Amino acid sequence: MIFLKEMLNNFFEKVFQNKNFCYLSLIIFFALLSFFYSNIIDQRAIIESLIISDTIFYEDKFNPLYLSSNNSYSSILFGLKILIELGISTKLLNFLILFISLTLNAFGIYLISKQLCKNNFFSLIIATFILTFQINFGDLDYPTLIISEHTNSILSSAIVVFIFGLLAINRIFQALLFSIFLISIHIVLGLWMTCIITFYLFFFQKK
């Protein structure tokens, strides 16, 4: 009995010491969760992309949604517009948006937790628990969203979490690249993160 317990403990430790297994577990779990929510939630960015690609036709060119969609810039909108024009299903795009958002969030939380507690299994549980139950640790001037129809908000916050995860493991260059990309999605968050990382590089990295 003791031997069996030790064998199971050793197997458990070996499995969860493998970071690739942890990443794969997060990808599979959040792919399933994304599939579930993609059948419930329709992403606003897809609707706006359908408008700017003229798939949805508005006779009233002064309609607020039409004006907002055609006069706002976001790399997400134009990326989706291209994919829609290529014939990619909106259902698939709906799933992919949620999947990318949740996966970036999960990786970011996992990396931060792992750096703090040095335990793969515990970090895996923390990331899964927080995102599954959409635990909110506080808002700024508008709610922090995890699973929502607000595409720019969920992707922007997910990228920020992932950037902090990269910073936790000292991947400064990759974090800077993601923060620059973030400017094309959410200019305020993107500039904020880029300034923080640039400030860190200029004043602390040399030391």
Q: What's the pLDDT at 56?
A: 76
Q: How far is CA 171 from the centre of its chain?
A: 17
Q: Which residue has the higher pLDDT, 2 or 154?
A: 154
6: left (phi over 0), alpha (psi -120 to 50) or beta: alpha
Band the pLDDT of 67: cuts 50, 70, 90: low
Residue 142 has pLDDT above 60, yes or no: no
Q: Output the CA torsion sign for 122, 123, 124, 128.
A: positive
Average confidence (pLDDT) over 144-167: 91
Q: Quick one: which of 42, 57, 45, 34 has its CA closest to 81?
A: 45
Residue 57 has pLDDT above 90, yes or no: no
Average confidence (pLDDT) over 52-65: 74
Residue 154 has pLDDT above 70, yes or no: yes
